[in-house]
């Protein structure tokens, strides 16, 4: 079955997808997800592995930060914060609005 190209930011089965709608299996939690997913380095086993967004925030980002010398609790806090939506006011600032 060929991959279906879609508009950026389209929702597929409840997931915001960028790029394509291919169904993949997370290399960390073994759950299915749609879209490109995330690079699971340093937790992936091969270069082709991809992980879902929840595992990226909860496992991958903290693992990367710990490699950089952050403590476990600090790394987990950053991963948790990264998983939260950007507040509307900050989003406007980032886009150059007031």
pLDDT one-digit tens code per residue, 47-73: 899 999 899 999 999 999 999 998 989
Confidence of residue 14 (pLDDT cuts 50, 70, 90): low
pLDDT band at 43 (very low <50, low <70, confident <90, very high): very high
Is pTM beyond 0.75? Reply is: no
Alpha helices in 8-60 (DSSP H): 53-55
Count other Cβ atoms within 10 Å, centred on residue 55. 22
Output 20 or 65, whichever has higher pLDDT: 65
Asked if 64 contacts 42 with a C-beta cutoff of 8 angstroms, the reply is yes
Q: Look at residue 75 in the predicted model and tell me its pLDDT.
A: 87
């Amino acid at each position: 079955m060929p991959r279906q190209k879609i508009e950026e930011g389209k929702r597929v089965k409840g997931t915001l997808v960028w790029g394509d709608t291919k169904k993949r299996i997370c290399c960390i939690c073994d759950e299915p997800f749609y879209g490109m997913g995330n690079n699971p380095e340093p937790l992936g086993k091969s270069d082709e592995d991809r992980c879902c967004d929840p595992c990226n925030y909860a496992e991958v980002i903290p693992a990367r930060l710990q490699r950089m010398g952050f403590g476990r609790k600090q790394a987990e806090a950053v991963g948790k914060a990264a998983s939260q939506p950007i507040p509307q006011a900050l989003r406007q600032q980032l886009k150059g609005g007031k």
